[in-house]
């Protein structure tokens, strides 16, 4: 069995996308030897330029490592990258650790933890919050679910990518908390957008409304960090896609149903964001929800 307190040696990082590339680069900058794998040649070239070691496949990246990090679009892709044909977990020795930093479905994560445990491989689910900007600066908020000893084992690695690491409980709990966090964030953003539209209709300067919100009880992440920079400016360039937000909201709504919790707000939010994503396209930034809400708010003039 691998000694958790020992030097982790080379780390495999699978998934060098918009978030994965800066996260893996932070590990390289912190002095870790990182072996990256991705389907995109462009991503691999960028990782090599950052000092990373490029590998042809997930399994090749994992060979000779005891820690594998995944940062992929969803839990199904994570499972395939680990346990599918040529999967990374197939190359791991007993006692190795997988850290899934993707936004995966909590119940699927529980099942994956059991499957990896049967191979004597540990799983910590450690999704992140903060977007590309905080991935680049290494100041992500990280939610970690799993055995406490394995979370501590992962902490030095996670600390190179995030400034806040919170243990959330058993395997899958990190992914549950991440989905619920994004539900609350998305609900606050929609409320803020609706408030802006109402203020404008009444003749109030939206910038004034935002200033009031941010010194009052209506203040939230969206009023502080999204309304003026991305929505009132019409740049819509926060770096987090609407499709990913819609996915996380569906995860939260599905979890409530799986647990027998009647969460109408979560269901409504998942439906709204799914409609917005379908209307505006997968490439739309999540702050473009304002455009969708504005379009829905236009009422035909009533005849006299």
Task: List the domain boundaries for the chain.
Answer: 11-170, 176-297
Amino acid 302: pLDDT: 46
Q: Please give the CATH topology (third level) of the domain spanning 176-297.
A: 1.10.1040
**Given the residues 133, 178, 201, 219, the one annotated as active site:** 178
Amino acid 7: pLDDT: 74
| Integer Cα distance of 171 and 150 in angstroms | 11
133 in catalytic set: no
Contact (Cβ atoms closer than 8 angstroms) between residue 144 and residue 166 = yes
Token pair belonging to 185? 């964030």
The reply to whether the predicted model has a pTM over 0.85 is: yes
Token pair belonging to 234? 């019409």
Which residues of the chain have a pLDDT value below 50? Answer: 1-5, 302-304
Amino acid 169: pLDDT: 98
Contact (Cβ atoms closer than 8 angstroms) between residue 192 and residue 227 = yes
Do 11-170 and 176-297 have matching folds?
Answer: no
| Integer Cα distance of 77 and 247 in angstroms | 14
Q: Give the CATH number of domain 11-170; options: 2.40.30.170, 1.10.8.60, 2.60.40.10, 3.40.50.720.
A: 3.40.50.720
User: 85, 98, 20, 76: which is closest to 57 by C-alpha?
Assistant: 85
């Amino acid at each position: 069995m691998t000694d958790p307190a020992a030097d982790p040696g080379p780390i495999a990082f699978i998934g060098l996308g918009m978030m994965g590339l800066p996260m893996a680069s932070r590990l390289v900058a912190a002095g870790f030897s990182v072996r990256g794998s991705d389907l995109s040649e462009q991503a691999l070239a960028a990782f090599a330029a950052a000092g990373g070691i490029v590998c042809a496949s997930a399994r090749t990246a994992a060979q000779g490592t005891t820690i594998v990090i995944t940062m992929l679009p969803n839990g199904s892709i994570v499972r395939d990258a680990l346990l599918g044909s040529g999967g990374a977990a197939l190359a791991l020795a007993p006692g190795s650790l997988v850290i899934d930093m993707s936004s995966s479905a909590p119940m699927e994560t529980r099942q994956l933890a059991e499957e990896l445990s049967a191979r004597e491989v540990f799983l910590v689910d450690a999704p992140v919050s903060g977007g590309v900007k905080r991935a680049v600066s290494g100041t992500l908020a990280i939610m970690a679910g799993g055995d406490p000893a394995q979370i501590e084992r992962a902490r030095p690695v996670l600390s190179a990518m995030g400034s806040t690491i919170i243990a959330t409980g058993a395997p899958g709990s990190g992914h549950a908390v991440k989905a619920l966090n994004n539900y609350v964030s998305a609900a606050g953003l929609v409320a803020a957008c609706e408030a802006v539209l109402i203020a404008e209709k009444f003749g109030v300067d939206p910038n004034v409304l935002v200033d009031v919100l941010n010194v009052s009880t209506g203040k939230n992440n969206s009023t502080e960090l999204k309304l003026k920079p991305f929505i009132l400016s019409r740049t819509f360039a926060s770096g987090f896609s609407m499709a990913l937000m819609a996915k996380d909201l569906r995860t939260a709504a599905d979890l409530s149903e799986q647990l027998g919790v009647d969460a109408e707000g979560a269901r409504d939010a998942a439906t709204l964001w799914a409609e917005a994503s379908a209307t505006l396209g997968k490439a739309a930034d999540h702050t473009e929800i304002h455009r969708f809400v504005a379009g829905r708010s236009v009422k035909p003039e009533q005849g006299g």
